[in-house]
Amino acid sequence: MAYATEQNSRNQSGLTGRFATFAAGLREQMARRRLYKETFRELAALSNRELGDLGLHRSMIRRIAWQAAYGA
């Protein structure tokens, strides 16, 4: 009987571990998405002149925000 209890304990920790990994991945994705949206919003709020001073064009905003958040 002790063996069966020990086995159940391992199964629950495995499930708990998988859930914890899933939750951590979800939190990471949410943080990356938040960074993308914030970067996009801040760059989009700049005027064309301000973007030009930074050496950017308005068409580059989406790519730059993506690179900031996802590094690709």
Whether 69 contacts 62, CB under 8 Å: no
Instruction: Provide the pLDDT for residue 14.
Output: 85
pLDDT digits (tens, 9 = 90+) for 34-67: 999 999 999 999 999 999 999 999 999 999 999 9
Query: How many angstroms from the chain centroid is the CA of residue 44?
Result: 20
Instruction: Provide the pLDDT for residue 24.
Output: 95
pLDDT digits (tens, 9 = 90+) for 9-25: 455 578 888 999 999 99
Tokens of 52: 């030009």
Whether 69 contacts 31, CB under 8 Å: no
pTM of the model: 0.74
Instruction: Provide the pLDDT for residue 8.
Output: 52
